[in-house]
Amino acid sequence: MNIDHLVQMANRIGEFFQAMPDRAEAVAATAQHLRKFWAPRMRQQLLEHVGTAGSAGLHPLVAEAVQDLCPT
């Protein structure tokens, strides 16, 4: 899938959860949404993008949530 499209979709998710009053909850909800509704391949592409381009172009909540997606 096109990485620009994935970033745009991820940013929309971040914008939605930004309305939550607690930032930590918003980050967790964003990460949970990506885990629950995105295919593993999509998540991997987003992680690879962050690995090469950093958080450039990502909504701040998404940038934080991606850290939760990193395998430990």
Place of tokens 């909540």: 61
Can you list the residues of the chain whose pLDDT is less than 70?
71-72
Residue spans of the domains in the chain: they are 3-69
At 1 the pLDDT is: 86
d(CA 1, CA 65): 20
Cα distances from 35 to residues 41, 44, in angstroms, run 11, 11
At 71 the pLDDT is: 65
At 70 the pLDDT is: 76
At 50 the pLDDT is: 93
At 39 the pLDDT is: 96
d(CA 37, CA 54): 23
Model confidence, pTM: 0.91
